[in-house]
Structure 1
Amino acid sequence: MFGRAPKKSDNTKYYEILGVSKNASQDDLKKAYRKAAIKNHPDKGGDPEKFKELAQAYEVLSDPEKREIYDQYGEDALKEGMGGGASAHDPFDIFQSFFGGNPFGGGSSSRGRRQRRGEDVIHPLKVSLEDLYNGTSKKLSLSRNVICSKCKGKGSKSGASMKCSGCQGSGMKVSIRQLGPSMIQQMQHPCNECKGTGETINDKDRCPQCKGEKVVQEKKVLEVIVEKGMQNGQRITFPGEADEAPDTITGDIVFVLQQKEHPKFKLQALEAVLPSRTSVQLSDMELDECEETTLHDVNFDEEMRRRQQQAQEAYDEDEDMHGGGQRVQCAQQ
């Protein structure tokens, strides 16, 4: 983000919230946050707003880069640089990241850690006009990430992890550059040390199966059923079959039907001419007169010549019957 250097605003509020001085060390900040966060946790009858303020203050002051911006320019600079708020993280996530679990004992927090939803994976699936008209099935092979079965998605043999020292467990870092006398650049980006997870794993403790990645590759075959009468652009969804990740609700795999160009027919033209398959009601006499065929057997040129010949025969027959008088025009229905 580029912009003029913001005017200095209040840069003491976060220190006052935690009850520490401006020259407080990281240990002082940790002790202050620990004591106040436990006291004001909503699960212990604390004030939710106060709990949120504590998390916001600790997240900023525990990060050296954010703290430098705050000390120099105040809260307004963080709001501008971070897109609408000095804290972009859930206060309960910050609390759980700090303590590494539930500090109260006797079970997990009633609030718990929120699970985000993973992204859906969307694939185009090319089908012919005959496939849409008659229906078909296709088997497709795919590779996806699944939670490591050996470490259960922890990434370590012991199941333990450490809070990332590079981002203080937030997963994000803020950098600031002075571009000129009155111009600064502020950027928020995932922490390189922990890849945005907020935690790191000791090299000696890494899971031998996933190498600390928490997920492994799995190959799977999906059978996609294209039902009769499906349309171009229609979606076929496989819920929960996308990539898995820890603390994440698995997204869906979605196939979008894409009709391949037909050498003779266009789907729009057929839809305008042919009645719906399910709504046609024919009598026994009409059924006896129908000639059974399949879509791919129809020759458009031959069909046009046949209809013209039938129309001409009907025309000649009418002329013979009425002796050249008023003519009745017949057309094959």
Structure 2
Amino acid sequence: MQKINAARQILTDPDKRELYDRIGWEKMQSHIDDSAFPIPRFSGNFFDIFKHKKDNHIKHSLKVSLEELYSGATRTVSIDRDIVCVECNGTGCRDRVSCVCNNCEGTGLETLTHQMGPVIQHIRCTCSLCNGDGQIIHP
């Protein structure tokens, strides 16, 4: 049973799985246990140690009575989640693509030209039509 639990822990944790794929089972058994030393290894990017790992489990508090706990009960729970819209594929427009801004030609910058006498001044600034996105979403 311990071997099954160890295998499950390795296969479900992406970091341990990557280590297992690199060094194999024998070296994995002699490897330092991650729970004893919670400091991340320096095999990847140093700044990865500051990233928050995403928890795949959903945690929800639910109040139940002792009777419901003992005899069982069914409850419906609403969970909010972010998904990509099927109609627009996350672009915000119905034809699933956003259009390139005609004002800045997709660069997000427009050139304003001012002339004072013989002096011509060109100023590049954020596009006023697309707000610097370079794309316009037509509803």
- TM, length-normalised to structure 2: 0.34
Higher helix content, 1 or 2: 1
Q: Which of 1 and 2 has higher RCO (CA within 8 Å, sep 6+)?
A: 1
Q: Choose 1 or 2 for highest CA Rg.
A: 1
Q: Which has the higher strand share?
A: 1
TM-score scaled by structure 1? 0.15
